[in-house]
A = this chain, B = another copy of it.
Amino acid sequence: MTRFRLTLAYDGGDFSGWQRQRGARTVQGVLEEALGRLAGGRAVAVSGAGRTDAGVHAIGQVASFDLERAIEPGALSRALNALAPEDVRVLEAARAGPGFHARRCAGSKLYRYVLDTGPVQLPTRRRYAAHLPRRLDPEPMARLAELYVGERDFAALASSGSSVETTVRHVRRSELRFAADRVVYEVEADGFLRKMVRSMVGGMIAAGRGAASVAALEDALEAGDRRAWPAPAEARGLTLVLVRYPPEALAS
């Protein structure tokens, strides 16, 4: 029995998210199907570092699973890319230690959100960036991005229906860049609640439009008040960029 670690990229536009669901096309589902074929029909359970939602993309998702069959990582990667559909690709395969688990061992995850703000969005960008054709004030947006940094309770940004032990997360980096017709947000944390990044962006959009003051948003954040928090931004602008692991987790 060997444990493997995959680095994955996918275009989330035609997937109902990461997580296996009966009757829906999901990234975990198509990977488990391909691995099942490689394992001669035996079921293979895949764990992903981030459970991305429908429409969310990845260029550095990480997954782990066990295979009984002995196979070189390079051959595994080629075989999976031959079996899997073109909108999910294995960028790298590696042997992992028996204790490695893509989600539980993850030290931090980095997400990027792209928002086009010009009057008309280029059709070649519409799958990979959200579109909001209006002027956004960078100053309150940057103040809110700064407020997210540190260890805090993000209950106000948790999607309803998510059940987690704690809504405290440690945000290590939260950076906004403004270009002529585009806003790019990058955020890295030890973990994220369901739709948390999109809610962070939703809050910044509300601040940038002047629909909510930074003070009011800070109050809602501190009170953990979900109903006072703006709606999450569209899924298509979000990409899981990178998952970091502590060196001991990567030793095989």
Contacts and interface: CB of A to CB of B under 8 A. Distances in A.
A123 B86 contact: yes
A126 interface: yes
A59 B239 CA distance: 23
A180 interface: no
Q: In the assembly, how many copies of this chain are there? A: 2
Contacts of A10: 123
A124 interface: yes
Contact of A124 (B59, B120, B121, B123): B59
Contact of A89 (B87, B121, B127): B121
A120 B87 contact: no
A57 B91 CA distance: 27
A94 to B, nearest CB: 14
A126 B11 contact: yes
A70 interface: no
A194 B57 CA distance: 35
A-B pairs, top 8 by smallest CB distance, nearest first, are A11-B123, A87-B123, A9-B122, A11-B124, A89-B120, A10-B123, A57-B124, A91-B120
Given A87-B123, A89-B120, A91-B120, 17 more contacts: A9-B120, A9-B122, A9-B123, A9-B124, A11-B124, A57-B123, A57-B124, A81-B120, A86-B123, A86-B126, A87-B126, A88-B123, A89-B121, A89-B122, A89-B123, A124-B128, A127-B127
